[in-house]
Amino acid sequence: MHTSPSSTTSGDNLHFESDDLAETEDFLVRAYTKMSIAAGQGESPSARIERRWLGSVTFDELELDFHMSYDAAPLGRICLCRVHDGRIEENFIGEEPDVFAPGEVALLSPPELPYSGRVCGATFDLTMFDTALLDRVAAPANGRADQGIRLTGHRPVSPQAQQRLSDAIDYVRTVVRSDGLEATPLVASTTASMLAAVVLHTLPSNASLEPTTTDRLDAKPALLRRAIAFIEGNADSDVALGDIAASIHVTPRALQYMFRRHLEMTPMEYLRRVRMDHAHRDLLQADPATTTIQMVASRWGFGHTGRFASMYRDAYGRNPSDTLRN
């Protein structure tokens, strides 16, 4: 058996490997929530778990080479489960049991409810983030912000939605497993907001994404100018859709409609353009002997250097490396 380390301090990778059921249960309780587990009769309970952090987001890769039944307290967080091999049999309160098969992505459990089920010799990953992040990227359909955003189903709304959600998880995995510089706070917050937005576009929820009549009336040029000023003045900070909307006292729906109507882009696309412009200026002024493309990209919230280079070429017609050298 090998376990190292058990600390959950953000920024430290975590690795656990054991064939002792009691030690595995103890680890799962410390890493997730209070639970009890059991193994199939005569099975060797071999478990391997790796966790990486990206700000408040955690990305875990798990291999459980046995049939592990579990009965757990609420997680209190959004937990996306993507199965690669084997299967997971999940029980949902008030719903029929469901089986997650290879290639499928689902919400493991509503964050406020206890859950139970069985992992059947599965390899899978779990991506988790705080529920409060959903409130930073959307507003509830009834307009009552005090009720908050909640997910109302555990399966993506379509095969296309499932692929989009899986692609977002792949992006998180790429960022957390990067061998280069440690992700900056801006990379972490930008990635987290992206993930939350994709979750709300792919899983059933009480969020309203289409503008109402009031939202359309709020889409005034004066408010747009104020939103732009907020974005440009806070491009180096953790900014989510809800923050921009709150700065001009409109709903996230109204903000989205406003930017699409007048600028033919979303507010977050505009934020990316502003940050790209800052990165461009930094590259123009940087010393290539002491500065890398990854350093500049990460400084402005771009967690994937290859994607940054592609967007840079689209915007400026040249590679960022050419700008840095010249």
Cα distance between residue 148 and residue 313, in whole Å: 39
Predicted confidence band at 142 (pLDDT cuts at 50, 70, 90)? Answer: low
Q: Which CATH number fits domain 272-325: 3.20.20.80, 3.30.70.20, 1.10.10.60, 3.30.2010.20?
A: 1.10.10.60
Predicted confidence band at 229 (pLDDT cuts at 50, 70, 90)? Answer: very high
Mean residue pLDDT across the chain = 92
Predicted confidence band at 10 (pLDDT cuts at 50, 70, 90)? Answer: very low
pLDDT of 21: 97
pLDDT of 236: 96
* 3-state SS class at 29: helix
Report, as an integer, the average pLDDT of 157-179.
95
pLDDT in tens, 72-92: 999 999 999 999 999 999 999
b/e code 151-169 from CB counts within 10 Å (16+ = b): beebbbeeeebbeebbebb
Please give the helix or strand (H or E) that residue 204 lies within, else none. Answer: none
- List the chain domain ranges: 1-205, 272-325
Beta partners for residue 51, in sequence order: 14, 60
Is the predicted pLDDT of residue 3 greater than 80, yes or no? Answer: no
317-325 long-range Cβ contacts below 8 angstroms, 24+ apart = 320/279, 320/283, 320/293, 320/296, 321/293, 323/280, 323/283, 323/284, 324/283, 324/286, 324/288, 324/291, 324/293, 324/296, 325/288
pLDDT in tens, 247-273: 999 999 999 999 999 999 999 999 999
Predicted confidence band at 139 (pLDDT cuts at 50, 70, 90)? Answer: confident
Task: State percent of the chain over pLDDT 90.
Answer: 85
Angle among Cα 92, 93, 94 to the nearest 5 degrees reads 110
Cα distance between residue 122 and residue 100, in whole Å: 10
Is the predicted pLDDT of residue 156 greater than 60, yes or no? Answer: yes
**CATH number, span 1-205:** 2.60.120.10
Predicted confidence band at 9 (pLDDT cuts at 50, 70, 90)? Answer: very low
Are 58 and 118 in contact by the 8 Å Cβ rule? The answer is no
pLDDT of 212: 86
What are the start-end ranges of the H helices in the chain? Answer: 21-31, 132-135, 159-176, 185-202, 213-217, 221-233, 241-247, 252-263, 267-285, 293-299, 305-316, 320-325
pLDDT of 292: 94
Tell me the C-alpha to C-alpha distance, in Å, between residue 246 and each of 102, 150, 284: 41, 20, 34
Is the predicted pLDDT of residue 8 greater than 80, yes or no? Answer: no
Bridge-based pairing of strands 14-18 and 2-4 is: antiparallel
b/e code 187-206 from CB counts within 10 Å (16+ = b): bbbbbbbbbbbbbbbbbebb
Beta partners for residue 91, in sequence order: 116
Cα distance between residue 220 and residue 215, in whole Å: 10
All residues at 6 or more sequence positions from 254 whose CB lies less than 8 Å from its CB, including other chains: 211, 214, 215, 216, 218, 219, 245
